[in-house]
Each structure stands twice: as structure tokens, then as C-alpha cells.
Homo-oligomer: A and B are copies of this chain.
Amino acid sequence: MILTVTLNAALDLTYRVPALRPHTSHRVTDVAERPGGKGLNVARVLAALGHEVTVTGFTGGDTGRLIRERLTGAVDAFVPVRGSSRRTVAVVDARTGDTTQLNEPGPLITPAEWSAFLAAYEELVAGAEAVALCGSLPPGVPVGAYAGLVRTARTAGVPVLLDTSGEPLRRGVAARPDIVKPNADELAELTGSHEPLRATQDARRRGARAVVASLGSEGLVAATEEGRWRATPPARLRGNPTGAGDSVSAGLLSALAEGLAWPDRLSRAVALSAATVLSPTAGDFDRTAYEDLTNRVTVTGEATAA
């Protein structure tokens, strides 16, 4: 079983409007609704790849109930809280395809709720083959939360991937996660460098055992104990990048769980990410495209001398 943690789970709404004009009224022509937050997106892709997945984090209130009712393909191990889970609204401008994002803040987590989560997490980690810690922290959760969750997984000998940003990422990296997966902005914020190769190396020196940076349409750069690689899709892709980063995390974890070497992990992650961009539904991946792309990703680089 792979465990994904979504501390700030959401009900993601996608609204299509003919054209977004601030300070006017819009008729929404199409409404889509599904559970979200990065950890739940990762879980959905892992389940589609055939993995057993358990999801945890916090859910509460009416929105929390809707999130749980709509979970498919994953075992629900969410910890209930008194506050109400958040909604997010993505407003897609049908004319340009651009998205305007509105994110509710999420429930205030009490110290007792955080303790209940830590106990549940420790038990779940013991039965997991890998753990993904993903996304922002809801109010009330300590900023060093991910560092503690990384240490718990490492103590249990379970590989752990961290995908977050800002201070939670900075603190989490120092706890030595197996993989961190920042995008270019998050990597630059962490390291102060806008040069991805240099920045991934720098992020490793800060504690991460492997750093996989997602560079959008240019693919991935990875710095690991076993070597450094760059993995690129066969062609520049047009489509909706929503969820592409979560598909990278799912691809890395899936390949790790199957015992694949780093170049194959990166190929899978790039193919899944590209197949997510190509999917007509935001955050889903196009299975035919994925199977077609898997052998067409270019991985260059070198393994560290043994």
C-alpha cells in the first residue's frame, strides 16, 4: 500500500465561463467537482496505475463529507476535524484557456486534532511501502509538520516523498526525505538560485536524498545519490497543465514501489505528466498517450561512479 497525506484536502470546483471579466456577472456554462489537494490527486493517479492506495489527512464539515463521499479507488483513512474542509474554485476562461484560481483557507486544526493525526499516521506508515506528503498546511498545523512526518517515515524505514513549498518545504528538506519534488519557483525560493541544475544540487546539500525538479514542458531534472539526470518529453505539448506536477509525484512513487532504477522512474514520471497535460479532463491522464509516451521520453545524464 502507498500512503498519501493531504493535510488540507479540498473539494475542487472547475467553472467554465465564456470570458472572465472582473467586476461583472458570469453564467457558468460547465461545472466539474471532485476531491482535490495534491495528495488526493497523487492517490487518484496511483490507483489508476493499479496500486493499492490509502489516503489520510483532515476532513471536516459539509465539504469534508462531500470529499469523502466522492473518493474512489483509495482507502479512506482521513481524520475527522471540527472545522470545515475547504473548497477551491478554478475559473477557466473558455476564450483563452487561462485559469483563475480561488482557494479557501481550510479548517483551523486544534492541537488535539493534530495529535490524533500523528497517532493515525504512525500506524498507517507501518503498513506502507511508500509515503507521499503533499500540499499546503491548514491553519493551526505547525510549520515544521512535514519535518516530523518525514522523520516518522524514515524511522519506520519507509521511503517518503515531499511536495510542498515555502517554509514547510525548507524545514521538511532538513529532515532528509527520500525525494523532494519542487517546481522551478519552489526550487528557486528554497535555494535562491534560478539555475535548475545548480539549485537541485543545492537542495540535496540541504538534506534531501534526491531532488526531482519539474520544469513544466521541459521535463525533469534530478539530482540523486545514484547520479544526475534530465528527462524530457518527445515534443512540446499543448494542453492543461493542472495536476501535471501531481502526476510526476505519482510516477516517481509508483516506479519506486516497483523497484525501478532512477532513469526508469524519471521516464514514467515524465510520460505520466505529459499524458496529464494531454487529457481533456484537468488532472486526469490519457492512458493511451501515457503508454505511447513511456518509451519516447529522453533521459540523459550519468550515474555516479560506483
User: Which of chain B's residues have a CB closer than 8 A to the CB of A103?
Assistant: 25-28
Contact A93 B22 (CB under 8 A): yes
User: Which of chain B's residues have a CB closer than 8 A to the CB of A100?
Assistant: 20-24, 26
Copies in the complex: 2
Contact flag A15-B105 (CB < 8 Å), given A22-B20, A22-B93, A89-B89: no
* Chain B proximity of A74: nearest CB distance (Å): 20
Assembled-state Cα–Cα distance A99/B25 (Å): 8
User: Which of chain B's residues have a CB closer than 8 A to the CB of A13?
Assistant: 87
Q: Majority SS of interface residues in chain A?
A: strand
User: Is there a chain B Cβ closer than 8 Å to A98's Cβ?
Assistant: yes
How many residues does chain A have at the interface if contact means C-beta atoms less than 8 Å apart? Answer: 29
6 nearest A-B pairs in the assembled complex, by CB-CB distance: A25-B101, A23-B98, A28-B104, A26-B102, A22-B100, A31-B104
Q: With contacts A15-B102, A20-B100 known, what are 20 further pairs, Cβ within 8 A?
A: A15-B89, A15-B104, A17-B102, A22-B93, A23-B93, A23-B96, A23-B98, A23-B99, A23-B100, A24-B101, A25-B101, A25-B103, A26-B100, A26-B103, A27-B103, A29-B105, A31-B104, A62-B62, A89-B89, A89-B102
Residues of A at under 8 Å CB distance from B?
Answer: 13, 15, 17, 20-29, 31, 62, 66, 87, 89, 91, 93, 96, 98-105
